[in-house]
Amino acid sequence: MVMADYEDFARAHLPRLLRYATMLTGEREQAADLVQDVLVKAYRRWSRVSDAEHPDRYVLRMVTNDYLSWRRRSARLIAVGDPPDAARPDDFASDHAAREDMWQRLARLPRRQRAVVVLRYYEQLADADIADLLGCAQATVRAHARKALTTLRNGLNVDRMAQAKES
């Protein structure tokens, strides 16, 4: 019966875990590896995980913690390239370029800041829940969010200034 409970849990939560891990890592392959590692650990600890008040949050925290500790195990991959050319607003490629640009910007954030941004804006968790997942104070969550958003905004402002000079 324990195995069936785990399988049901994994089947039900796998899509969300993969989406979340992809947002953290920026790459589907790394996200799949991360989630696979975590689900193996969750299986080994299933009695503890299933006894938790919110098993889904418990596993989400495991994914977050493993992501934050990956710097010791793997190199961080960041695609480097020229900034996309300005495209017409109705051009399909402009949407793709904007998404790619945001991936690039997120990839440059420190891991904790990136985790806070993803948990806050993608997972839509409150600061208290994020603090619980990351094992830190709510003030720390707010500080990470502020620094991350400042970094992202500054990058956008630099790009706008460069575009204005080119015009």
Q: Tens of pLDDT along 35-68?
A: 999 999 999 999 999 999 999 999 999 999 999 9
- Number of residues assigned to the chain: 167
User: Could you give the CA distance from residue 110 to residue 125 in angstroms, rounded to a whole number?
Assistant: 19
pLDDT interval class at 92 (50, 70, 90): low
Task: Indicate if the pLDDT at residue 84 is higher than 80.
Answer: no
Residue at 166 is within a domain:
no
Q: How much is the average pLDDT of 137-150?
A: 96
Task: Indicate if the pLDDT at residue 135 is higher than 90.
Answer: yes
pLDDT interval class at 77 (50, 70, 90): very low
Residue at 135 is within a domain:
no
Could you tell me the CATH number of the domain that includes residue 29? 1.10.1740
Q: Are 141 and 134 in contact (CB under 8 A)?
A: yes
Residue at 33 is within a domain:
yes
Least confident range from 101-105, 135-139, 146-150: namely 101-105
Residue at 148 is within a domain:
no
Residue at 67 is within a domain:
yes
Counting the structural domains of the chain, the total is: 1
Largest CA distance in the chain: 67
Residue at 29 is within a domain:
yes
Place of tokens 């008040």: 53
Answer whether 0.85 is exceeded by the pTM. Answer: no
Instruction: Give, in degrees to the nearest 5, the angle at Cα 132 between 5 and 143.
Output: 145
Q: Are 142 and 130 in contact (CB under 8 A)?
A: no
pLDDT for 153 = 86
pLDDT for 107 = 86
By residue range, what is the domain housing residue 28? 1-77
Could you give the 3-state DSSP secondary structure of residue 157? helix
